Chain A
């Protein structure tokens, strides 16, 4: 890692949308003019006080920000090591961090005069957030969701429908997040003139990775200020789960130049990071490639064909990762580890029992890594993990994994 004091990790992406070799704009010509328009509109909005004033107002009164910084006292005692804080983004309106970004993109869509919003969703959290904000602003909303995910995330599908969105089950491929993104891109290319594609993570063609990161950075900015107030200093370690990586990028970004802060991203290890690819750990088990508009680490075979990932968590079930994470991985500024389904389930249960918080399966992965490292760290070591979503949507999946029979209708 470069130690030059003047070398900032926060200057990316460059004018080509690259973080080192990662990122870029690998899209068809039909979309390219719109992507350039979006970039120009975002650049204008970024420095427009009225844009951020509107965001702040909605964040405060609609989403409920700032989210609390919670000292997980019983978990800390139970693990007997580092002091554990949770950034409670699961308390946001709609139950996850996703809405932070959706608000920003919908305000941009309004500025661009787009009346129709499309989105892809895995666990359904981004779909719910998009449907919510579209309802709030009276915009038409279409959500693409893998057929397999529609099945395992039924409560979120119903939520989206209640909010007036049209949910399109995607049957191509294996019917997960990757396939939903393909179909959303097909819709976009067909309806490019009136449609805004609200991407849910820090991936896709430039400017999406940077734009989504900027909208999610509210997490890290608040965390920094809150820990300063509570502890009078920076955390020693920050930890977040990664599918595409938006909650992680949001937490990490404001800390990138605080070189004393350890940054750990937790990928979904599924059944274990082995040769059979029954996991979604792109950085641990993949190599650089080009998919969905950007170059990044991907799960792929020797012939460059994309592999289907595997995870108990629908929100992490994606064979790629945001390009900025790939860059942070390669330059060594952040460390990336993986957690298996079994470990995540253990963390899920421990969090319920010790803290009275039912976490989503996604942050359960981050928590599982906290459980691994906290016991060996001193009591004055501050860990901040991002509790990026609540687990109501996951109780059926967890019940099934634990062998509990539950009647979804009852």
Chain B
């Protein structure tokens, strides 16, 4: 059982929805980023998605593109991202960290080497945007074998025929991308998302977490109420980019987490 599985077990027992936050490793620099990540659990974050910077983030909107550029300009690398995780893990052994990014930096390192290093650093799962089920041999299957979760994205274009393929080798949770689009785009409404989440829930026992376009505590509550939780990324990254001190960014994160956690259980 991974830290991700344990987290959902705890949340289910408490009758609570999950709040997942995304931040870019090394944005705007290593120290600030580490301070932010360290503060996330106390701000109510159940699962941390840690962005691995990449030069060509094809599925990301401008906010996360710029965050990645700042991180890279500040000297962030795969090794430094793993170091950040290791440092976090020294004082927090329970909050799951999911590394989110693109395949090339991992392929460049070598899949087996990377997986050993990621596990040793305390990473619990991976979300790799440019690896659909058709490429499962590349990283998904080796990741599961290494005992980490490989979390798949399901989208509005994933139809019923395709859904079993998408769910087949996924673990930890399913990340439902609420819109066709890039990160930071306009939010979907719970009334639009609910039927899609229900469709996923009918096909899997895994928790379904909804992301893309959630910006406010109200959105977070609204979306979390029809799923097992929600993800906020760009809105948090924007706060940091506006130059606010980490403590203020964490206040914002806390308001989002409170929003998600106040959602009532409505799923059968």
Chain A positions near chain B (C-beta within 8 angstroms): 16, 24-34, 172-173, 178, 182, 185-186, 189-193, 289-293, 295, 298, 300, 302-306
**CB–CB A33/B157 < 8 A:** yes
Select which of B78, B108, B132 is within 8 A of A28 by beta carbon.
B132
With A289-B107, A300-B104 known as contacts, the answer to whether A28 contacts B59 (CB < 8 A) is: yes
Residues of chain B contacted by A182 (CB below 8 angstroms): 56-58
Can you name 12 A-B residue pairings with CB atoms under 8 Å? A26-B132, A28-B155, A30-B180, A33-B158, A182-B56, A185-B58, A289-B107, A290-B130, A303-B77, A303-B79, A304-B107, A305-B105
With A16-B134, A303-B77, A304-B104 known as contacts, the answer to whether A30 contacts B109 (CB < 8 A) is: no
Select which of B104, B153, B180 is within 8 A of A192 by beta carbon.
B180
**CB–CB B106/A304 < 8 A:** yes
**CB–CB B107/A28 < 8 A:** no
Given contact pairs A31-B157, A303-B78, enumerate 9 new A-B contacts (beta carbons under 8 Å).
Answer: A26-B103, A28-B58, A28-B132, A34-B157, A192-B157, A192-B180, A290-B130, A304-B54, A304-B106
Residues of chain A contacted by B159 (CB below 8 angstroms): 33
With A289-B107, A303-B108 known as contacts, the answer to whether A25 contacts B135 (CB < 8 A) is: yes
Taking the complex as formed, is B206 at the interface, i.e. its CB lies under 8 A from any CB of chain A? no
CA distance A16 to B136 in the complex (A): 12
CA distance A193 to B155 in the complex (A): 13
CA distance A163 to B104 in the complex (A): 38
**Smallest Cβ-Cβ distance to A304: which chain B residue:** B108
Select which of B65, B153, B181 is within 8 A of A172 by beta carbon.
B65
CA distance A29 to B169 in the complex (A): 14
CA distance A291 to B56 in the complex (A): 8
B4 to chain A, nearest CB (A): 20
**CB–CB A186/B55 < 8 A:** no
**CB–CB B157/A30 < 8 A:** yes
**CB–CB A30/B108 < 8 A:** no
Residues of chain A contacted by B135 (CB below 8 angstroms): 24-26
Taking the complex as formed, is B185 at the interface, i.e. its CB lies under 8 A from any CB of chain A? yes
Contact with A along B200-235 (1 / 0, CB 8 A): 000000000000000000000000000000000000
**CB–CB B54/A189 < 8 A:** no
Residues of chain A contacted by B102 (CB below 8 angstroms): 290
Taking the complex as formed, is B166 at the interface, i.e. its CB lies under 8 A from any CB of chain A? yes
Residues of chain A contacted by B109 (CB below 8 angstroms): 304
Residues of chain B contacted by A191 (CB below 8 angstroms): 180
CA distance A290 to B134 in the complex (A): 15
Taking the complex as formed, is B162 at the interface, i.e. its CB lies under 8 A from any CB of chain A? yes
With A28-B132, A33-B159 known as contacts, the answer to whether A303 contacts B105 (CB < 8 A) is: yes
Residues of chain A contacted by B43 (CB below 8 angstroms): none
Select which of B105, B155, B157 is within 8 A of A304 by beta carbon.
B105
**CB–CB A292/B55 < 8 A:** no
**CB–CB A173/B55 < 8 A:** yes
Taking the complex as formed, is B265 at the interface, i.e. its CB lies under 8 A from any CB of chain A? no
Taking the complex as formed, is B131 at the interface, i.e. its CB lies under 8 A from any CB of chain A? yes
Contact with A along B97-113 (1 / 0, CB 8 A): 00000111111110000
B31 to chain A, nearest CB (A): 20
CA distance A290 to B105 in the complex (A): 9
Select which of A30, A172, A178, A291 is within 8 A of B177 by beta carbon.
A30
Taking the complex as formed, is B17 at the interface, i.e. its CB lies under 8 A from any CB of chain A? no
**CB–CB A305/B103 < 8 A:** no
Taking the complex as formed, is B3 at the interface, i.e. its CB lies under 8 A from any CB of chain A? no
**CB–CB B132/A27 < 8 A:** yes
Residues of chain B contacted by A31 (CB below 8 angstroms): 157
Taking the complex as formed, is B182 at the interface, i.e. its CB lies under 8 A from any CB of chain A? yes
Residues of chain B contacted by A291 (CB below 8 angstroms): 56, 104
Taking the complex as formed, is B254 at the interface, i.e. its CB lies under 8 A from any CB of chain A? no
B75 to chain A, nearest CB (A): 10
Smallest CB-CB A-B distances: 7 pairs: A304-B108, A304-B105, A190-B181, A30-B155, A32-B132, A306-B55, A304-B104
With A290-B104, A306-B55 known as contacts, the answer to whether A29 contacts B77 (CB < 8 A) is: no
Taking the complex as formed, is B152 at the interface, i.e. its CB lies under 8 A from any CB of chain A? yes
Segment 104-151 of B: residues with Cβ below 8 Å from A = 104-109, 129-135
Taking the complex as formed, is B18 at the interface, i.e. its CB lies under 8 A from any CB of chain A? no
Select which of B54, B134, B182 is within 8 A of A32 by beta carbon.
B134
Residues of chain B contacted by A305 (CB below 8 angstroms): 53-55, 72, 105
**Smallest Cβ-Cβ distance to A306: which chain B residue:** B55
With A26-B131, A300-B104 known as contacts, the answer to whether A193 contacts B56 (CB < 8 A) is: no
Taking the complex as formed, is B154 at the interface, i.e. its CB lies under 8 A from any CB of chain A? yes
Select which of B104, B130, B180 is within 8 A of A306 by beta carbon.
B104
Residues of chain A contacted by B78 (CB below 8 angstroms): 303-304
**Smallest Cβ-Cβ distance to A193: which chain B residue:** B180
CA distance A31 to B59 in the complex (A): 10
CA distance A172 to B54 in the complex (A): 13
Residues of chain B contacted by A302 (CB below 8 angstroms): 108
**CB–CB B108/A289 < 8 A:** yes
Residues of chain A contacted by B60 (CB below 8 angstroms): 186
Residues of chain A contacted by B130 (CB below 8 angstroms): 26-28, 290, 293
A309 to chain B, nearest CB (A): 12
Interface hub of B102, B106, B109, B134 (most chain A Cβ within 10 A): B134
CA distance A186 to B129 in the complex (A): 13
A334 to chain B, nearest CB (A): 24
CA distance A60 to B104 in the complex (A): 42
**CB–CB A189/B181 < 8 A:** yes
